[in-house]
């Protein structure tokens, strides 16, 4: 099990925090996805967890920090993105290997470094479907083969936990599905898997639990079913020469219809079969009729918007909905979620004890929280948190008892929606007045580093009805949100048609859409890359939703990519 509490990282004073107050668990027997767009802070979070970055917070692997482990490679297998995103590095940070080395020799060499017999390397070549190319030099390897070799290296010490940064990034669908199958099998056998991804669909297919990040903050912590319901909407793509007429009929049947390209419509709220039958009964010709899944935008965090001369940063109060009694010390609102996306359960307002990771000044793995670090925390407890289930909240708060001294110094929550500048990282105060910025900077100096200012008491909570600020153009999630001027659909022939806009509200239907047919467990298209003996963990299988039985491969082609 991995327990993450209050991870915070500010790379440079005056820049936004790469990770802010990140708290979640990755449980044994399950796959946990850390999801977020580019620059959300996923890789930074992993590096903090592994002690490759200095920052604040605590990361425990089965109860111990990574850097306290005597033989970490026996406990945690790591696959980080390599230069260019193609290589991947092993737990020692070594890139996939010298191009002139043969794969088998490369893996045997790493096995010796880890202190396991070379037969373990051979075994892993088999398991990752690389045995047939074990005598080939690494320079001949495809990205998919490199990635599988990196996974084999991470598994050498037979770890019970896997931490993987975008392992399927850039791989072919076939290789990606192989990875998914392997990781699900690893989890089903009792292992802990934490994997990052930018793709909501991949998270839905791969994970049992999805942690969503936005600009370094956790904005949702959901079981996968809930994630699917709130972030993925099923719809049917229909194409043909008479779409206006069909759309009219569909709207009459209560479906949501929107235009989709030149001669197509996207339909929500009614199934593919029903659409086909309706078209047939009315003599409407169809060229295409296909199920698909549309990604809904993730919830977004909004930074503080104003400040006073006092040096205290006032955060925007939520425009609607009562705050929990324990959240009055300054929630940073997030944008409204799509309908049905706000989940039950609030993060504990109890200020958690957050020992720092390595201090900026030295390599020691841990130091207990210093008084100056607590400056922000003393101003008030962490407010109500982002979208979380009660389950995750309980786990996070239960494991971090507060030291008596800190507990007594933290005042009980009071109203006001005010965060002291000290409680915010310098970067989070981007929109505050100069006086507040000065206060923040000087406080940071007194704490010895920029990160000291990131006591990270700022947190987020979903706020229904809050206005949605403009998004950066690079946000890939924006592209997934369908947008259409409904009154201009098929303008020339359809002026009287009552179109309804679909896909944008996240509901996909009044009662909430059924889980999208992602083919997650059933799809064994990568079976040819996966042997039944792929995972030999020696751990008892843990019943989990992620449990899957790898299919016996057909003739594998290790050079498939």
Ligand X SMILES: Nc1ncnc2c1ncn2[C@@H]1O[C@H](COP(=O)(O)OP(=O)(O)OP(=O)(O)O)[C@@H](O)[C@H]1O
For position 233 contacting ligand X by CB under 6 A, the verdict is: no
Nearest CA-CA partner of 373 in 333, 334, 422, 441: 422
State the minimum distance, in angstroms, from the CB of residue 45 to ligand X.
7
Question: Out of 8, 22, 42, 55, which residue is the one contacting ligand X (CB under 6 A)?
Answer: 42
Number of Cβ atoms within 10 Å of the Cβ of 63? 9
Under DSSP, is residue 119 helix (H, G, I), strand (E, B) or coil? helix
State the minimum distance, in angstroms, from the CB of residue 437 to ligand X.
20
Question: Out of 3, 5, 32, 43, which residue is the one contacting ligand X (CB under 6 A)?
Answer: 43
For position 212 contacting ligand X by CB under 6 A, the verdict is: no
For position 451 contacting ligand X by CB under 6 A, the verdict is: no
Cβ closer to ligand X: 19 or 323? 19
Report the C-alpha gap between 347 and 400 in whole angstroms: 13
State the minimum distance, in angstroms, from the CB of residue 472 to ligand X.
11
* Locus of tokens 């083969």: 145
Considering only 42-50, 244-252, 269-277, 413-421, which stretch makes contact with ligand X by CB under 6 A? Answer: 42-50
Cβ closer to ligand X: 11 or 490? 11
* Locus of tokens 């005010």: 418
Under DSSP, is residue 446 helix (H, G, I), strand (E, B) or coil? helix
For position 198 contacting ligand X by CB under 6 A, the verdict is: yes
Report the C-alpha gap between 151 and 459 in whole angstroms: 35
Nearest CA-CA partner of 355 in 365, 341, 340, 367: 367
Report the C-alpha gap between 138 and 125 in whole angstroms: 13
Question: Out of 38, 291, 479, 487, which residue is the one contacting ligand X (CB under 6 A)?
Answer: 38
For position 65 contacting ligand X by CB under 6 A, the verdict is: no
Cβ closer to ligand X: 156 or 199? 199
Residue 525: how many CA atoms within 13 Å on its side-chain side?
A: 10
For position 44 contacting ligand X by CB under 6 A, the verdict is: yes
Cβ closer to ligand X: 198 or 559? 198
Under DSSP, is residue 264 helix (H, G, I), strand (E, B) or coil? strand
Cβ closer to ligand X: 198 or 292? 198
**At a CB cut-off of 8 Å and minimum separation 6, what does 228 contact?**
204, 515, 516, 518
State the minimum distance, in angstroms, from the CB of residue 440 to ligand X.
19
State the minimum distance, in angstroms, from the CB of residue 270 to ligand X.
36
For position 39 contacting ligand X by CB under 6 A, the verdict is: yes
State the minimum distance, in angstroms, from the CB of residue 297 to ligand X.
16
Q: How far apart are the first and last CA of the chain?
A: 33
For position 326 contacting ligand X by CB under 6 A, the verdict is: no
State the minimum distance, in angstroms, from the CB of residue 343 to ligand X.
22
For position 40 contacting ligand X by CB under 6 A, the verdict is: yes
* Locus of tokens 């820049």: 15
**At a CB cut-off of 8 Å and minimum separation 6, what does 280 contact?**
none
**Contact positions vs ligand X (CB under 6 A):** 11, 18, 36, 38-44, 198
């Amino acid at each position: 099990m991995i327990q993450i509490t209050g991870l915070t990282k500010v790379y440079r004073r005056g820049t936004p925090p790469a990770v802010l107050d990140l708290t979640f668990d990755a449980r044994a027997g399950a796959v946990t996805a850390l999801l977020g767009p580019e620059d959300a802070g996923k890789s930074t979070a992993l590096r903090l967890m592994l002690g490759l970055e200095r920052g604040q917070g605590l990361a425990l692997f089965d109860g111990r920090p990574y850097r306290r482990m005597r033989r970490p490679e026996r406990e945690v297998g790591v696959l980080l993105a390599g230069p260019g995103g193609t290589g991947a590095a092993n737990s020692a940070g070594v890139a996939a290997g010298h191009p002139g080395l043969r794969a088998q020799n490369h893996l045997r060499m790493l096995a010796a470094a880890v202190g396991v017999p070379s037969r373990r390397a051979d075994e892993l070549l088999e398991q990752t479907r690389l045995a047939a190319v074990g005598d080939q030099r690494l320079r001949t390897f495809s990205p998919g083969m490199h990635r599988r070799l990196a996974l084999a290296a991470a598994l050498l010490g037979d770890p019970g936990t896997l931490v993987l940064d975008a392992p399927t990034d850039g791989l072919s669908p076939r290789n990606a599905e192989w990875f998914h199958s392997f990781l699900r099998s690893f989890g089903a056998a009792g292992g802990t898997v934490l994997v990052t991804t930018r793709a909501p669909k991949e998270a839905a297919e791969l994970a049992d639990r999805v942690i969503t990040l936005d600009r370094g903050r956790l904005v949702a912590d959901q079981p996968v079913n809930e994630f699917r319901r709130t972030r993925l909407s099923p719809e049917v793509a229909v194409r043909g020469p008479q779409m206006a007429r069909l759309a009219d009929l569909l709207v009459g049947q209560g479906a949501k219809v929107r235009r989709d390209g030149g001669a197509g419509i996207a339909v929500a709220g009614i199934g593919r079969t029903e659409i086909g039958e309706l078209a047939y009964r009315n003599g409407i010709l169809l060229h295409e009729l296909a199920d698909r899944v549309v990604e809904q935008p993730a919830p977004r965090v909004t930074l503080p918007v104003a400040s006073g001369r006092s040096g205290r940063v006032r955060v925007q109060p939520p425009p609607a909905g009562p705050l929990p009694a324990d959240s009055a010390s300054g929630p940073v609102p997030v944008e409204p979620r799509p309908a049905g996306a706000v989940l039950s359960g609030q993060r504990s307002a109890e200020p958690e004890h957050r020992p720092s990771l390595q201090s900026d000044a030295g390599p020691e793995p841990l130091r207990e929280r210093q008084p100056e670090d607590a400056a922000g925390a003393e101003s008030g407890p962490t407010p109500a948190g982002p979208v979380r289930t009660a389950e995750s909240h309980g786990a996070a708060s239960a494991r971090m008892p507060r030291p008596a001294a800190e507990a007594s110094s933290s005042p009980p929550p009071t109203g006001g929606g005010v965060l002291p500048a000290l409680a915010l990282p310098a970067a989070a105060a981007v929109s505050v007045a100069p006086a507040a910025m000065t206060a923040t900077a000087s406080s940071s100096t007194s704490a010895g580093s920029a990160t000291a200012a990131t006591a990270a008491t700022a947190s987020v909570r979903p706020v229904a009805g809050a206005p949605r600020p403009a998004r950066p153009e690079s946000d890939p999630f924006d592209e997934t949100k369908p947008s259409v001027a409904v009154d201009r659909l098929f303008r020339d022939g359809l002026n009287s048609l009552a179109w309804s806009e679909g896909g944008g509200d996240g509901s996909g239907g009044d009662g909430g859409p059924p889980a999208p047919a992602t083919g997650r467990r059933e799809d064994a298209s990568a079976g040819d890359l996966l042997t039944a003996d792929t995972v030999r963990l020696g751990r008892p299988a843990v019943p989990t939703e992620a449990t899957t039985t790898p299919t016996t491969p057909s003739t594998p082609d290790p050079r498939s990519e």
